[in-house]
Amino acid sequence: MAISTSDIAQLRAKTGAGMLDCKKALDESAGDMEKAIDTLRKKGIAKAAKRAGKVAAEGTVASYIHAGGKIGVLVEINCETDFVAKNDGFTSIVEDIALHIAAAAPQCVSRDEVSAEMIEKEKDVYRAQLEAQGKPAEMIEKIITGKMDKFYSEICLLEQSFIKDEDKTIEQLLTEKTGEIGEKISIRRFARFELGEGIEKEEKSFAKEVEEQIA
């Protein structure tokens, strides 16, 4: 059955969940409002949405070292109270996210942090590629929008697929865990270091290596 805008708005008012989450819940429940509410509650979305406006200023700064000291991560993850910050459930989330950052190498937390310069550079590259392929002008901008969404999903931490469950993004993971723990959880910032990154390493030929060994 078709889901009306008013149904979505009503469900949103009752749960505080986002429009897309409400529409999906109504679709899954064939328009049954109570079943849709239960669906959102089971996913932790309803409870999480109600906490979206809360201030999360507690939490922890965690570190993670990977690959025998070749990759290091520092990440600040916030919650609402010091009590939750010391909770095993919260600690587990922090460890998972630090591990994910080490493996997936995001460049920023969200697309809001991507510079206008980088965005325009990517769009220019895509536009040139599409023009070279002979795509009509009226289609190019629509295609670019889709390509930019993919670009953001590759570099923005919140939009990346979680390495332990690729069916959900990091943002969806936070929403789920916020519902489970009962406090807003957010990622404020991170830094990722990879040994030798940015250093131009001299490439030696096999012959040169042999010469050095026998010298």
Task: Give the model's pLDDT for residue 214.
Answer: 53
Angle at 184 between CA 162 and CA 25, to 5 degrees: 65
State the fold for domain 58-112+156-194: Tetrahydropterin Synthase; Chain A (3.30.479)
Task: Give the model's pLDDT for residue 8.
Answer: 83
pLDDT tens per residue across all 215 residues of the chain: 678 877 887 787 677 677 788 888 899 888 888 888 888 877 766 666 666 667 677 999 999 998 789 999 999 999 999 999 999 999 999 999 999 999 999 999 999 999 999 999 999 999 999 999 999 988 998 999 999 999 999 999 999 999 999 999 999 999 888 888 888 899 999 999 999 887 876 555 545 554 565 55
Taking the C-alpha atoms of residue 104 and residue 106, their distance in angstroms, rounded to an integer, is 6
- Report the amino acid identity of residue 192: R
- Report the amino acid identity of residue 14: K
Instruction: Please indicate, yes or no, whether the overall pTM of this predicted structure exceeds 0.95.
Output: no
In this structure, what DSSP letter does residue 183 have?
S
Strand ranges (DSSP E) for the chain? 58-66, 71-79, 161-162, 165-169, 186-194
Task: Give the model's pLDDT for residue 206.
Answer: 46
Task: Give the model's pLDDT for residue 56.
Answer: 74
What does CATH list as the number for 5-50?
1.10.8.10
Alpha carbon 140 to its chain centroid, in Å, reads 26
Task: Give the model's pLDDT for residue 129.
Answer: 93
Q: Where are the domains of the chain?
A: 5-50, 58-112+156-194, 115-152
